Structure 1
Amino acid sequence: MTAKNLLVELFVEELPPKALKKLGEAFAGVLAEQLQAQGLRAADSVVTPFASPRRLAAHISHVYLKAEDKAVRQKLMPVSVALTAEGQATPALLKKLSALGADVSDPSAAVARLQREGEGKNEALFYDSLVTGATLDLGLQKALDEAIRQLPIPKVMSYQLETDCELPGWSSVHFVRPAHGLVALHGDTVVPVRALGLRAGQQTQGHRFEAAKSPVVIAHADAYAETLAVDGAVIAGFNDRRFAIVQQLAQAAEKLGPGYQVLMDEALLDEVTALVERPNVLTCAFEEEFLAVPQECLILTMKANQKYFPLLDRQGKLTNRFLVVSNISPADPSAVIGGNERVVRPRLADAKFFFDQDRKKTLESRVEGLGKVVYHNKLGTQGERMERVRTIARAIGQQLGGDVLAQSADTAARLAKTDLLTDMVGEFPELQGIMGGYYARHDGLSEDIAFAIEDHYKPRFAGDELPRTQTGVVVALADKLETLVGMFGIGNLPTGDKDPFALRRHALGVVRMLVEKQLSLDLSALLAGAVPAFGDKITDASAALADFIYDRLAGSLREQGYSAQEVDAVLALRPQRLADVAQRLQAVRAFAALPAAASLAAANKRIGNILKKAEGENAAEPQESRLVEAAEQALFAAMQQTVPAADAEFANGDYTASLMTLAALRAPVDAFFDGVMVNAEDPALKANRIGLLRRLHEAMNRVADLSRLAQ
């Protein structure tokens, strides 16, 4: 069949910028899927999405005018139901055939055209038919309707549209933004489809102010991007516009001289790409006096409020220059530059005002105010929360560093949340913690306390750095434990994709600090130790919380490249020192590579099953005098040599050596199971053998549950 390329465009009013990229990809993706499902798109077809502030479009190559007719075999019913004993069609069969459009005027002929498959009770009748292939007109209409229906629209709006028919009137349309044009071209031919009250044509609109022609006429599906660029002054492709912005930003920074760096932000790049149709980067500046304000405040002001790109110097310090991505390209850009500079100045002045005002009060003076801020209706105020974090932090600090660390952690925890009451954090919640660090230094507190206040929210996201100081680690750990224990204690757990208190992120933060900072803390003791700080506000959900944290740890380890089997073997023992988990995994990986590993893992699994069945039975320590079979005597002797050495290596933290030592037990273990009956008739003999296996099982499963390695 002859195939041509297809172009479909919806021309609309300005789309929500944060959703534009996703809308463009979804529109093109669903269109292509629907055409594929109807046989109208070739297997090697290429889909190119387009998305600009005022359009969603898709170019799909190798699209057929008509799909091939398709032979379909449909199962009807068992022969025993479809035919009488004489082989005549039953009423049920004739009714089914009529529903399928088959000719049943001659029942015998209709039966003769059917196919039989299967034997005996499974024999059934099948009806062969030829389904006419879909035409592009109808197929594209169905695909377009589905693409619009499935758009991930953040918020639907309704508007009135004059009806396009002989009867005058208005109809309601529901879409993300009012639509004003529809283009559908198969090669150079318009496909007569409709959507959102619009008829398809080949005309669209270009840039609001700089288009060379209006309307812009698309002569051919393949000429879409080029025609819009030349006649419409629009770069239609989202990625093409984004690339142009990145290039222009880099060129603008380079023109200013060596050392200037653009503070690139992927989310901001996407948003700005969605705001302009033809980007033009301009360099602006603000007064140097504003640089006295913490650069995080200025950067956030420029990025969040104005969509500007700050410029840093060689040392990563903010400069008074910034870059603007304009949607127009005037011959003299001075008016655009001046306008942006005037707009940003009040924003920076506000930040400076907030900073100056906040420093008039110490963090200590704000502590009392935390008691007036509700944290959670079941967990009390921020003041109560602060006291709980202090209690937990003191205990952890005492364990890790004695009185000195406990005292510094207590001080930092007492002040960590006070910046929530400042004007700056009120305006920019993203700066909580960061501003606390600045204000702590202004109050004359030590760098250790300032860093701890600044870092106690870390890690804030996947891949974020951990707190820089030991005090910061203690307070961050206490803060996250307070949130986790409190929320689990009141039953406020994550469900599906919903996790409003970021408990998954907090759990991963706890895991990362325990592991990466090599903290000698037991997880169960940490969780249990945090519960009393809540008094009677919660119930103890430490067991469920521990499972939740181990689940997060397991996922993290698999992402790091460990196999599910390795992770399962180590975490099955619920190791309390998470800092040891990586060493255990390495030991398991080394053990699994040994020739003896498979046999010992299988034996370990077998021993586990025997011990489960023997639960409740007497099983004393194995006594050599009661070992009667040569194989059990040999196993006991081998264990006397290897187990103490393996235990000593385990105690020294050399998990790999411990497992390697135990690998020597392969031959005597195999011989034991080949030559010894564990369930002996003599109860004393049976108990001694179970005791021997229990001692072996304990020795083999100190590093990991080796039975999990059995195939």
Structure 2
Amino acid sequence: MTAPSNLLVELFVEELPPKALQKLGDAFAQVLLEQLTAQGLATGASQCTAYASPRRLAAHITAVLPQAADKAVSQKLMPVSVGLGADGQPTPALLKKLTALGADASAAAALKRVHDGKAEVLYFESTAKGALLAEGLQKALDEAVAKLPIPKVMRYQLQDGWSSVNFVRPAHGLVALHGASVVPVAVLGLQSGRATQGHRFEAAASPVALRDADSYAAQLRDEGAVIASFAERRAEIVRQLQAAADKVGGGVRPIEDAALLDEVTALVERPNVLVCQFEQEFLAVPQECLILTMKANQKYFPLLDAEGKLTHQFLVVSNISPQDPSAVIQGNERVVRPRLADAKFFFDQDRKKTLVSRVEQLAKVVYHNQLGTQGERVERVRAIAKAIGAQLFEALAAQHRIDGTQDAEVVQDYLMTCVDNAALLAKTDLVTDMVGEFPELQGIMGGYYAVNDGLPDDVAHAIEDHYKPRFAGDALPRNNVGLVVALADKLETLVGMFGIGNLPTGDRDPFALRRHALGVIRMLAERDLPLDLSALLAAATPAFGGKIEDATAQLADFIYDRLAGSLREQGYSAQEVDAVLALRPQRLALVPKQLAAVRAFAALPEAPALAAANKRVTNILKKAGEVDAHVNPELLQEQAEKDLYVALQRFVPEANAQFLAGDYTGSLQTLAVLRAPVDAFFDDVMVNAEQLDLRLNRQGLLKTLHDAMNRVADLSRLAA
């Protein structure tokens, strides 16, 4: 068999969609490798390198065979009783089958007999020639093009003037090299060759004639002025961005934005980073506005100072490298200036009206056809925030977590006033010019305009923060007023959408209900808020009047499911999470302590036996129905049940005291001493005695045990 060589396949196309480029390149290469491997042309030792630039998708695959190895094929024909007559000669049915397989009657003698458990069956054994690379690559290439995850398909006409094809962008070239030899394949109306195109303006050679598969990246770089690898191009941009920032000096750094970096990498073939600037007067506009317009509209990298403040300089990643870059720099500075001027105009105009004066406009903005306008929504958020605020501030005051140097009632009144103002004004920036142009700035601009209106910082911060956390890892609202309004806003969305049956599906969640649920979880847990989940849901539902059905139970299940997933991602086992969440804990801030206690308990030598016993107790009580946790000592007859009763009387009060003090680990470890009396009880005592009073008393004893053991978690879930 001829030795393997490396393979290079490239599709040269018009500019590909930048946000999808990396995914397209990886998928193209991966499907080619999978298909060649399936045909025996590539092996497990073959390595695949994906290339993706604005105008090409390519794959380099090592150790590809010119022809796959021959394969032995064993084909089931028919039972012996059907294929052979009484004299052992082939029947007409067998002869017909052999003819169809390209064999003659003489092959009948060589057929293999195998008993399949029911009868003897005839098998025809032959050797299938391995696939040639040309035919195997053609199949792989067709599959790779068909399976490409194209965000939006284009239909275009081929050069013959009659045929048309569907693809992500019009394709103009196909390269297929096995070593130095062209593999004859065709796709999208193109025939394979060895020529590709380099940079539109800076290629040293056009076209670039590839010597062999291994010279692809080097020739494109040297002759075509193209960095073909997405990863290498991205790394080069990162290097140049940092080098340019270092050259500017003063501790400035380019803004970090992975999505922007990926998009720019997909827009250039050979990056060249240049430093530009704009007039410092624009810095009077909130930096979020300037940063967003530079990133979203121009794909620029703003420069921040050491304190994270925007400077008047920014970086451009150009696709050309002229000797004198001044024209490119001036062009980009000229282009960005109107964008910044628009932002300044919107900011100046918006500040001419107060947020309070915009509240009425929200009544004209539709939120949802079943849930009314944004104005109606604001009133619901206000009502929910009022209920949550009352719960929270009273609980914090009781825990002395509100400033005790002032009158508690005065502080609570102030905070409740701030909550109501923030809830009333939180959505008003939706009708400002700035947010109309840049919806991503909702909340942020509300905070700036609240400061401009002279509102307290607590209100301004709450307006800015009420959307937080916006994404995984995002910061939480910075004060209690913001937490209350953020909780109210997210609960209004969750309760409303569940109440009208608008639930997320496997791949669709248009109202971001999963993110809202995780936001509620994070705020309750990470800020240690003394709020019960059921009380929050109950407080949110009345705000809707008769617009919705009560879906509180379904919503609670949804939130606990999100919590379970989040905890598993944090490294807790499914058993640990299941044990704690089976009790539906109301204070989510305490869940991590409960999990830690369960983990410590599970490490004890007594844990497996107690978990198994707990499971047994759970099953007994489930069958018994309603059982009262009451024990009459005078009805205890067996020594084992007397010993268990004594142990419970001795250790349960201590465990309960530890539980109430928040020492969940200590509580479970105290109860671990019950293993011996529990084991003895099940060995020596018949729980379901025929005598009714004995049976009820023993069930009451087990109910007492069950209640004591399962305050932290359902320990039966730890049983194997």
TM exceeding 0.5: yes
1:192-247 deviations in Å (ceiling 9; x for gaps): 00011011001111111111111110011111111111111111111111111111
Tell me, yes or no, if the aligned pair for 1:394 and 1:407 is still in contact at 8 Å.
Answer: no
Cα distance in structure 1, aligned partners of 2:482 and 2:86: 86
Partner of 1:8: 9
Equivalent of 1:661, from 651, 666, 670? 670
Deviations 1:574-633 (A, max 9, x none): 1111111001001001100111000000000011111111115x6561211111111111
Structure 2: 5+ residue stretches without partners: 394-411
Following the alignment from structure 2 to structure 1, what is the Cα–Cα distance between the partners of residues 86 and 639? 73
Counterpart residue identity of residue 526, structure 1: L
2:281 maps to which of 253, 275, 289: 289
1:178 counterpart residue number: 170
Structure 1 residue identity aligned to 2:312: N
The Cα shift of 1:403 comes to 3.4
- Determine the C-alpha separation between the residues in 1 that align with 2:620 and 2:92: 62
Inter-partner Cα distance in structure 1 for 2:596 and 2:645 = 29
CA distance in 2 between counterparts of 1:129 and 1:680 reads 73
The equivalences for 1:253-268 within 5 A come to: 253-268=245-260
Q: What's the CA shift for 1:162?
A: 2.4
Spell out the pairing of 1:415-434 with structure 2 (5 A cutoff): 415-434=425-444
Give the C-alpha shift of residue 73 in structure 1: 2.9
8 Å CA contact 1:597, 1:663 repeated in 2? yes
Within 5 Å, which residues of 2 pair with 1:179-328?
Answer: 179-328=171-320
Which residue of 116, 139, 143 corresponds with 1:142? 139
Work out whether residues 413 and 453 of structure 1, in 8 Å CA contact, stay in contact via their aligned partners in 2. yes
CA drift at 1:132: 1.3
Tell me the residue number matched to 1:131: 128
Q: Secondary structure at the match of 2:478?
A: coil
Structure 1 pair 609–90 and aligned structure 2 pair: CA distance change class (3 A)? farther
Q: 2:638 aligns with which of 626, 629, 633?
A: 629
Partner of 1:166: none
* 1:103 counterpart letter in structure 2: A
Q: Which residue of 1 aligns with 2:589?
A: 579
Q: Percent identity?
A: 72
Q: Structure 1: which amino acid aligns with 2:274? A: L
Alignment check: 8 A CA contact 1:396 1:406 kept: no
Cα deviation, residue 95, structure 1: 5.9
Partner residue, 1:527: 537
Q: CA deviation at 1:113?
A: 1.2
Aligned counterpart for 2:694 among listed residues 670, 685, 688: 685
Partner of 1:504: 514
Q: Which residue, out of 423, 435, 451, partners 1:413? A: 423
Q: 1:91 to 1:655 in 2, by over 3 A?
A: farther
Amino acid at match of 1:23: L
In structure 2, how many angstroms separate the alpha carbons of the residues matched to 1:342 and 1:222?
43
Compute the displacement of 1:87 (Å): 6.5
User: How far off its partner does 1:105 sit?
Assistant: 2.8
Provide the secondary structure at the position in 2 that maps to 1:475. helix
Match of 1:105 in 2: 105
Give me the CA root mean square deviation: 1.6
Matching of residue 476 in structure 1 with residue 468 in structure 2: no
Alignment partner for residue 701 of structure 1, among 710, 713, 718? Answer: 710
Residue 117 (structure 1) shift: 3.8
Rounded Cα–Cα distance in structure 2 between residues aligned with 1:202 and 1:277: 20
Stretches of structure 1 lacking an aligned partner (at least 5 in a row): 164-168
1:42 shift after superposition:
2.6
Count of residue pairs brought into register by the alignment: 701
Q: Deviations over 1:374-410 (max 9, x none)?
A: 0000000000000100001111111111433322111
Code of the aligned partner of 2:518: L
> Residues 517 and 98 of structure 1: is their aligned pair in 2 closer, same or farther, counting only changes over 3 Å?
farther
Q: Does the 8 Å CA contact 2:204/2:225 hold for their aligned counterparts?
A: yes
Q: What is the 5 A alignment of 1:47-196?
A: 47-76=48-77, 99=100, 101=101, 103=103, 105=105, 110=108, 112-119=110-117, 121=118, 124-163=121-160, 169-196=161-188
**Structure 2 CA distance for aligned equivalents of residues 554 and 174 of structure 1:** 44
Given that residues 272 and 320 in structure 2 are in contact (C-alpha distance below 8 angstroms), is that contact kept between their aligned partners in structure 1? yes
| Letter of the structure 1 residue corresponding to residue 300 of structure 2 | Y
Larger deviation: 170-179 or 216-225? 170-179
Q: How many angstroms apart in 2 are the aligned matches of 1:75 and 1:367?
A: 78
CA contact (8 A) 2:9 2:177 kept: yes
For the residue of structure 2 that corresponds to 1:207, the secondary structure is coil
Partners of 1:115 and 1:127 within 8 A in 2: no
Residues 398 and 405, structure 1, Cα contact 8 Å, conserved in 2: no
Q: Deviation per CA, 1:678-711: give whole Å up to 9, x if none.
A: 1111111111111111111111111100011111
Kindly tell me: are residues 90 and 535 of structure 1, through their superposed partners in 2, closer, same or farther at Cα, counting changes over 3 Å?
farther
Provide closer, same or farther for how the CA distance between residues 37 and 410 of structure 1 changes in structure 2, counting only shifts above 3 A.
same
Question: 1:95-124, CA deviations, whole angstroms, 9 ceiling, x for partnerless residues?
Answer: 65555x153535xx52651231444x2754
What are the superposed Cα offsets for residues 659-696 of structure 1, whole Å, 9 maximum, x if unpaired?
Answer: 01110100000000000111111111111111111111
Quote the offset at 1:83 in angstroms. 6.2
Q: Partners in 2 of 1:586 and 1:489 — Cα distance?
A: 35
User: 2:37, 2:576 → 1: CA distance?
Assistant: 42
Contact 2:629–2:703 (Cα < 8 Å) also in 1: no
Within the candidate set 579, 582, 589, 1:569 is matched to: 579
Shift of 1:84: 6.9
Q: Deviation at 1:170?
A: 2.2
Secondary structure (helix, strand or coil) at the match of 1:281 reads strand
Report the residue type matching 1:694 in the other structure. Answer: K
- Secondary structure of 1:170's partner? coil
Residue identity opposite 2:605 in structure 1: P
Over 3 Å counting, the alpha-carbon distance change for 1:125 and 1:596 in structure 2 is farther
Match of 2:402 in 1: none
How far, CA to CA, are the matches of 1:66 and 1:110 in structure 2?
A: 31
Say which of 485, 493, 512 aligns to 2:503: 493
In the aligned structure 2, how far is the partner of 1:572 from the partner of 1:89?
68
> Do the aligned residues in 2 keep the contact of 1:117 with 1:126 (CA within 8 Å)?
no
For the structure 1 residues 448 and 97, does the alpha-carbon distance in structure 2 shift closer, same or farther, using more than 3 Å as the test?
farther
